[in-house]
């Protein structure tokens, strides 16, 4: 390329930097604290998928998405979006617990929700993600395979209850635990079918956090988890007296006081069969 051709390009570049539009500022602000996981594209749109880490992992994933119009190169602000995560297993396929997707408050182009992957293949394969979305009464769809990494700690548990129903529970908060009282949030879902995992309402989870590496000691002032209808989650006070590896021993109890899964921790039974892990 000759110099005479480069000069106009440099001028354009300088001009663009000097005249950064509101739109540019917006785009930077919109993506604060988010890293792109993947683009899913069809002929008309590109769905950009974001998380805090830029990856999907087993357990709870808070996810943000936005839709780029491939023709106008603008982000759409008036879509209604549904999503369907599917894991293909050797003999069948299934979905997992997920929220609806809604517009993120204070953001122009972002939509948000969560997906709880209860399992994955060792190489991260097996899952696909489909978006069905509507813009101005026109329906669109896009599907692609995704990678779901195995989390090191058990932050999700899938099991059969004593009522012969299948459940999934997932650790949601605290994402950054502190020494002291933490707001513990756990999601509880019933595997109604291969594709449907509604939230379970009005059960309880007993909580007994222990440090297996330190004589299996517990901590004071924990509370059991109770259901909150405003977010369809289970909440409790989780007391962590020191940093390290903790096992949150749980028992899932239905509204008739029947224990569906889990056992009390005793001298001889050091861990419940229903538990989640945490390390900080």
Residues in contact with Cu ion by the rule CB under 5 A: 87, 89, 119
Q: How far is the CB of 92 from Cu ion (least distance, A)?
A: 8
Residue 27 CA to its chain's centroid (Å): 23
Complex with Cu ion: residue 67 or 87, whichever CB lies closer: 87
CA-wise closest residue to 213 among 156, 270, 269, 152:
270
Complex with Cu ion: residue 150 or 218, whichever CB lies closer: 150
H helices within 19-121, ranges in order? 22-30
Half-sphere exposure of 274 (CA within 13 A, CB side): 26
Bridge partners for 36 per DSSP: 50
Q: Please state, in angstroms and rounded to a whole number, the distance separating the CA atoms of residues 110 and 68.
A: 11
Complex with Cu ion: residue 20 or 88, whichever CB lies closer: 88
Complex with Cu ion: residue 126 or 209, whichever CB lies closer: 126
Q: How far is the CB of 131 from Cu ion (least distance, A)?
A: 20
Complex with Cu ion: residue 88 or 221, whichever CB lies closer: 88
CA-wise closest residue to 261 among 167, 189, 170:
167
> Which token pair is 134?
């509507």
Q: How far is the CB of 273 from Cu ion (least distance, A)?
A: 20
**Closest residue to Cu ion, based on beta-carbon distance:** 87
Q: How far is the CB of 93 from Cu ion (least distance, A)?
A: 8
Q: How far is the CB of 87 from Cu ion (least distance, A)?
A: 4
């Amino acid at each position: 390329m000759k110099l005479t051709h480069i000069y106009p390009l440099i001028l354009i570049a300088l001009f663009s930097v000097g005249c950064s539009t509101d739109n540019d500022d917006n785009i930077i602000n919109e993506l604060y604290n988010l890293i792109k996981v993947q683009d899913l594209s069809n002929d008309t749109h590109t769905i950009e998928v974001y998380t805090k880490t830029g990856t999907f992992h087993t357990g709870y994933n808070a996810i943000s998405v936005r839709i780029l119009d491939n023709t106008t190169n603008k982000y759409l602000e008036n879509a209604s979006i549904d999503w369907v995560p599917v894991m293909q297993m050797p003999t069948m396929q299934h979905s997992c617990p997920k929220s609806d997707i809604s517009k993120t408050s204070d953001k122009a182009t972002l939509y948000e929700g969560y997906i709880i992957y209860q399992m994955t293949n060792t190489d991260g394969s097996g899952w696909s993600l489909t978006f069905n979305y509507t813009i101005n009464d026109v329906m669109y769809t896009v599907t692609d395979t995704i990678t779901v990494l195995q989390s090191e700690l058990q932050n999700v548990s899938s099991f059969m209850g004593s009522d012969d129903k299948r459940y999934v529970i997932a650790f949601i908060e605290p994402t950054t635990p502190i020494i002291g009282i933490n707001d513990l949030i756990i999601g509880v879902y019933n595997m109604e079918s291969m594709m449907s995992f509604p939230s379970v309402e009005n059960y309880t989870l007993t909580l007994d956090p222990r440090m297996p590496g330190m004589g299996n000691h517990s901590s004071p002032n924990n509370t059991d988890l109770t259901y909150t209808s405003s977010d369809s989650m289970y909440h409790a006070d989780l007391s962590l007296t020191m940093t390290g590896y903790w096992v949150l021993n749980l028992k899932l109890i239905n509204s008739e006081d029947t224990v569906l899964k889990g056992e009390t921790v005793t001298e001889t039974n050091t861990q419940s069969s229903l538990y989640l892990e945490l390390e900080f």
